[in-house]
Structure 1
Amino acid sequence: MEIATLINRSVVGLEPSRSLRRAAERMAEHGVGSVVVASEGQAPGIFTERDLLFALAGGADPNTSSIESYMTKKAFTLAPSVDAMQAATRMLGEGFRHLIVVNDDHTVAGVLSIRDLLRAVLEQIGEQTSGEGSNDEGAEKSSRVKRVGDCMIPDVISLSLKTNLDKAAQSMMERRVGAAIVMDDGRVAGIVTERDLMRAVANGLVPWTTPVGECMTRKPRTITPFTTAGAALSLMMAHGFRHLPVMEDGKLVGIVSMRALATG
């Protein structure tokens, strides 16, 4: 399967001089996690939610700071004819979540997201599973199945409801993760992700005065460490999640990402 069948051809573009807020607005308007940055005579660049996170962590003002200072210039690109499995290996191996796809004449054909790519690859090779692992299958078979507990990060970033967005971004960048759990009185109150921060910036919220409690995803879907990796991936793709809190006996024991499930 060629990636030409998987790319989003409705390219969201922006000039490098535009502000972080304008980039966030464009991403929010189109429901995407990146914008292609075009400058005449230059190879295309890309600005992503992770770049915005980095900017916020560094104290950038979304209204006055330009994306040129934080974008990836001369972004890595793929041809439309590249095989989906090869693209998945490259994206997962190097941590790309979005790649620009370029035609032979150097025009931009579209953008490939890791979510769309993984969905197609899993369908192609039949690795999607459903439901929790069953003890009825026997210990020997069960022991060979990769589960959420094998892939999760047990040392979770936990924030209070009053933590401001810039501090949340700093914590996430220090750990190189795209999400943090928001706790209230010892309980999971929500999850805040790069996507939540992007929407907050798009809505004009001020990072250094806005608490995560105002923009987090409340009462997030959770998963157990015993859920199979395939079932967890299917759940995440079906609902558009990139991270899920992992709970056992009512306690938070970790967080798992889509990338960790696919590569762990």
Structure 2
Amino acid sequence: MSNNDRKQVRDMMSTPLMTVSKNATITEAAKVMRDNEISALVVTTSPRAIISSSDVLEVAADGLDPTQVTVADVMTTDVETVTPDLYMEEVAAMMTTYGIKHLPVVDDEYVGMVSSTDVTTLLS
């Protein structure tokens, strides 16, 4: 594959980036994911954090009340991020190395999200 054929994150990322407050309930976060047909949200905190549909499933599987559990209770912190100019092959390698499915895209600030679905779409 020549460099001209290689896709960068900016070519594949989802925008606009959907976010959620760390104080939101799991029910509220799940509704944002469902309504926007996405499976992860960036949490508006520092350090960087993310909540995914897997986190929501864990709450349900543990029998917890999603109206009482907050995003802060289950979010993943110190999240890996990528820049818009990174090549998708590098994204795939990062996802494999870290065992993750979502990478927020940062260019001074959050600008989008790239997911394992984006990698799969590129390869199909």
**Residue of structure 1 in register with 2:92 after alignment:** 233
Cα offset for 1:234?
Answer: 1.4
Q: How does 1:1-264 map to 2 (within 5 A)?
A: 142-184=3-45, 187=46, 189-249=48-108, 251-264=109-122
Structure 1 runs of 4+ aligned residues shifted over 4 Å read: none
- Secondary structure of 1:146's aligned partner: coil
- Secondary structure of 2:48's aligned partner: strand
Cα offset for 1:144?
Answer: 2.7
> What's the Cα RMSD here?
1.7
Q: For 1:54-102, what per-residue CA distance to the aligned partner results, in whole angstroms no more than 9, with x for missing partners?
A: xxxxxxxxxxxxxxxxxxxxxxxxxxxxxxxxxxxxxxxxxxxxxxxxx
TM-score, normalization: structure 1?
0.44
Q: Which amino acid is the alignment partner of residue 259 of structure 1?
A: T
Contact 1:159–1:180 at 8 Å: present in 2 too? yes
The size of the alignment, in residue pairs, is: 122
Contact 1:168–1:212 at 8 Å: present in 2 too? yes
The CA distance in 2 between the partners of 1:206 and 1:189, in whole Å, is 25
Cα offset for 1:188?
Answer: 5.8
Identity between Structure 1 and Structure 2 (%):
28
Listed as ranges, the gaps of 5+ residues in structure 1 are 1-126, 128-140
TM-score, normalization: structure 2?
0.89
